[in-house]
């Protein structure tokens, strides 16, 4: 699978652009910033490439992850500086495109700032003006809808199912390498 995506590279790995294309094509994820963050979440060793293991792990969360896995994944995506907290600034950054307002507003950022405040209020259980992973899990457990609160970073049900179908088709048709299959399956179960 991974090979198919990157036919020309000598090693079986995927670079940022390929990943971009991949998620765009399969999961309708277009927000570049978020996709970039998702790439980083996939790329555990931060070498700028997704190798075979990272790919399998990442996809497993992506497609079959448990709630905990997904929460962790999303938090990592949103926690840009990887300091274990989502700060107000990070939030602002993530949400800045989320309001489609006509330009009439005095301060276009005003609305977003407001929204950030609302979000922060919602998540910040311990009132330290930043969202810890604890805050995050508490809040999301309370309301699953908030899992992707700061921007869609997981495939939605429809594209997910479509992709899974594609994969199983591919397995039958082209004969995916057995090891990859096993790995994918193995991953799914743990």
**Can you give the binding site for other proteins, defined by CB under 8 A?**
95, 97-101, 111, 114-115, 118-119, 121-122, 143, 145-146, 148-152, 156-157
Contact 154, 74 (CB under 8 A): yes
CB of 151 to other proteins, least distance (A): 5
**Residue 58 or residue 151: which is nearer to other proteins going by CB?**
151
184, burial (CB in 10 Å: exposed 0-12, middle 13-18, buried 19+) = buried
Least distance (Å) from other proteins to the CB of residue 150? 6
Q: How far is the CB of 157 from other proteins (least distance, A)?
A: 6
137-148 CB burial, b ≥16 within 10 A, e <16:
eebbeeeeebbb
Helices 108-123 & 88-95 angle (0-180, nearest 10): 130
Nearer to other proteins, 68 or 143 (CB): 143
Q: Residue 97 or residue 129: which is nearer to other proteins going by CB?
A: 97
Shortest separation between residue 23's beta carbon and other proteins, angstroms? 17
Angle subtended at Cα 21 by Cα 169 and Cα 165, rounded to the nearest 5 degrees = 15
């Amino acid at each position: 699978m991974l090979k198919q995506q990157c036919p020309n590279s000598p090693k079986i790995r995927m670079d940022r652009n390929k990943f971009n294309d991949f998620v765009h094509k399969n999961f309708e994820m277009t927000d570049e910033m978020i996709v970039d963050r998702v790439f980083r979440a996939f790329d555990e060793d931060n070498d700028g490439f997704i190798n075979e293991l990272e790919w399998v792990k990442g996809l497993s969360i992506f497609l079959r992850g448990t709630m905990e896995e997904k929460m962790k994944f999303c938090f990592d995506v949103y926690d840009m500086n990887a300091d274990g907290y989502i700060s107000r600034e990070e939030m602002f950054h993530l949400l800045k495109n989320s309001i489609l307002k006509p330009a009439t507003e005095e301060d276009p950022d005003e609305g977003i700032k407001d929204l950030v405040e609302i979000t922060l209020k919602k998540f910040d259980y311990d009132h330290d003006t930043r969202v810890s992973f604890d805050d995050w899990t508490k809040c999301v457990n309370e309301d699953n809808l908030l899992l992707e609160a700061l921007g869609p970073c997981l495939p939605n049900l429809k594209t997910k199912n479509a992709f899974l179908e594609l994969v199983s088709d591919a397995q039958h048709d082209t004969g995916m390498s057995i090891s990859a299959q096993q790995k994918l399956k193995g991953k799914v179960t743990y």
